[in-house]
Structure 1
Amino acid sequence: MTDIPRLIEHAFPLKQASLDSVHEKNVRHGHISTLHIWPARRPLAACRAALIATLLPDPGIPEKRKELCEKIGGKVVKKIERKKMPNGQIVEREKEVTEGGILHWGRETENKEVLDWFREEIKKAYGGRAPKVLDPFAGGGAIPLEAMRLGCEATSIDINPVAWFILKCTLEYPQKLAGKTWPLPEFILSNETFMREFFTKAKGYSKTETEKALERLGRKLKEGEQGTLNFKVTEDGSIEADLAWHVRAWGQWVLDHARKELAQYYPVYAELEPLKSTGGDAGSTKPYEKQPMRLVPLKEDGNPDIDALNKEFTKEYLADKRNPRWIVKPTVAYLWARTVKCKNCRATIPLLKTRWLCKKEKKRVLLTVEATSPSLSNTSGETPLLQYFDPNEPISNLSGNLPHWRQEGVTYFVTFRLADSMPQEKLRQWEEEREAWLKEHPEPHDEETRKEYYRLFPDRFQSWLDAGYGECLLARLELKEIVENALLNFQGDRYHLDEYVIMPNHVHVLVSPSGQKTLSNILQSWKSYTAHRINKHLERNGPVWQKESFDHIMRSPWQMERVRQYIRDNPKGKLQGKRRDDASTVMRRDVASTIVFGIDKDVPVKGSNTAQRRE
């Protein structure tokens, strides 16, 4: 095509493109925006209109330009829209919409013959071949997608790896893999909800056929027999599906694993009430006493286990819909806020812009905040106090490569490391170099010599410990959880944990033994239990932890606060040779005031004198 004026230089269906782009923002099902949220995503309607107007030559006649613009975007018409207001009043308003064209969502398929006409016209303008369209900043892929829809050879580029992956999934994979099928992964075959939808939507089965297919599939999975249902089954008995269903299957896998790991951070509550009355039960529910909401325990897969709350009721009791039972209540939203720590009581305080959850004319809900006093509660109900080194009290020293001072009732800073966190060749190198240096520099040492010694040996040794050597097993979530569960198992009973952090190859803990328990016994129980569990999980034997740990008695509140800050800052430090993103870290501080949150639904509503605010 020679360099002649294009349609977009003289005319463009701006009004139609704007109206249909606004409508497209409300589309959720089937739109590429549902694949991934992308900033400044261009509406498909606007991209389609801009591409057609750019690729087609200007006809040179105003009537022809108007005809082309209407063919692209249709005509703008006005219609009356009725909307119900919060006060119940019906309000009518005039709204502009488009009729015809191929810009409105869904009309590209409804008016397929018009879209085909534009494809042919674009080819004619380029000598009978499809033009090549390059988008060097493709982002979410709206422009190259519409170029492909118009029959062009589209090439898209983006420096952002997330955008690149979106482009692969939006433009390349559906085109290359269209019409191909593969066996569904085994894990999804036992998901009844997924397979029911698969049989209904992908295979077009009726309700009866779907139930038979599920029954047959269940037997096949249980017995391992070859099914004879009316869908493609490979020799190993796997059901085949296209790319879209594989994306759904693996999306379900991601969802299941995410739920398992994150469910603890999204609590679900239940209320005691009868099932909703239907039919003959209407108005016949039995009277019952209202009870506070209960936290629903979780199953191993992260789903709420409502049966655990209802196990106190018999089957006969639950069979009667009029009887109250615990029913899961959906959570409307989880509110997150940044927090700061009080310098005095060290309570965690949320930074909230407002405590109003709902502030409407007829409904107001307020988040209440109640602070408690600082405490260190344990299982006996006592409040232990942090104690520091007392030079007037007896002290003992355990033998080892490191000093291990012991004093009753004090708080210790403890570090224990994985067995491979210091490679043996590094350790031998350090010992040989240290021995040779000491021979060349006999004591006494002056200030400069001492500084050189600490730089070459203690400081370098510490840098090796922080370098992230070894397998860094604790970067794996499941192994980190084993260690965390061990630390918390006897919290408040045998000891009190102040703060701790679990790094990829070591653990820092501030701990105060309780009663007759000693630090040595506590460390032994932690190490032996976690070593057994980790080896069992990895299906291997051998040492997991270094035999000796570092421990230090806290001497003052000032030193305690420094160690606390060190523990908090540990994940922010530099791991040489390991990405800090790989560090599985957990921090906890129980030595603090707590803040209890509640919901106040009895906030006075404007114009009402009956509601009283709860104190």
Structure 2
Amino acid sequence: MTQYPKRLIEVDLPIKRISAHARREKSIIHRHISTLHIWWARRPLAACRAVICAALWPDPVDENCPQSFRDLATECINNFAKKAIAINSDFSKNCSTEIWNKWQVLAKPENQLNSHNPQHWNILRNSLLDFIADFANWDNSTQPDYLETSRNLTQAAHEALGGIPGTKPLVVDPFAGGGSIPLEALRVGADAFASDINPVAVLLNKVVLEYIPKYGQTLADEVRKWGQWVKEEAEKELAQFYPKDADGSTPIAYLWARTIICEGPGCGAEVPLMRSLYLCKKSNRNIGLRIIPKPEEKRVDFEIIEKHKNKWVVSDNPEIEVKNPSFDGTVKRGSATCPCCGYTTPVASVRIQLKARQGGANDARLFCVVTNKVKIQGRFYRLPNEQDLEAVKKASLELKKRVNQHTGELSLIPDEPTPPQGRSFRLESYGIDKFGDLFTYRQALALTTLVKLVKR
């Protein structure tokens, strides 16, 4: 019976150094798989790369480790150390100082490892772990010397452990998700089999593991080309529903609040449901809303205020100071407090009102428009105007027109039932029974436009 040796992962792993690379990876977006699709609980590529190498490569100190692996691993590490010194300036910048000093020592002829000397096996093990620690660095993930060495070690381990020469080890991930593990298996020279019950994950893995290796730059060029086409065509079709400001500013976000009617005695005012009145809260910039109750009109108005030095002033008229503004919203634990009379409508009544209006998305209150200005960096906030409200009205009419003209088998607006939610928040409690209820008319119009253009 063949006695299999322990793998490196069963002996040791430079977890602290790998974790540092994994944390840094969160801020990297260029050429990173995470930019393809936002996937929850994505495993860091640094950790996956390190774990796969350590799981595939035997521990050279283990008595059952094949001598053939020690021979080839020793040759790989010796060559890697010599290459590191030969290209000193380029190599050292992505290598940790501690490990770089070790490669410098190992590169000297008198310090080269001997695979037949048992005293060198422990040094070989530590060198493999050091290599894994630095290979976890994103900057080294496409570095040719790291790639070549890792693939040679993977192949050496595979054949030394009985793999048919010329074949590769197979890494199987039946819960592949966003594809971090199978991608890194391919990177280090293994074959990968990935599957998942989620069709989005399956598509992601096909793109990452099949389409990109097969089509390469051509695929990227085509995605950019047609993505730009969809963007331009959508902007043409939707321009009248998202008009620019008179000064050329471009609205980038519309902030809405669903509403209820206050159930306080004799009140009946419209109450916007808002958790906070802050629009921007940063160390150097604070902007918020001030609610202006108008009980005689059974509604509220808003005013944008911002902090200048140590005082709050009205944005449109900085000479007017606002004393001790409160930024607590109208909603707390699902109940809504009316700014006009102070009565709190309980959560059960809030749900009943919203349920009767399928969640209240299409009679919500537009309270702020966020814009970008030409040649001025930053975001700007303003109250909605007649042009904004007219655009929303036009969008609802256009959507109804498209729905009436639609002849496809499926509904133009998704009418599938929403799935049961968690105990903390249930869509059905607010009358949101279908996916289409999640969106305002204008959002639905924009989404159906994108779908149409992608199909085209």
User: TM-score by structure 2 length?
Assistant: 0.48
Larger radius of gyration: 1
Structure holding more helix per residue? 2
Q: If the length of structure 1 is used for normalisation, what is the TM-score?
A: 0.37
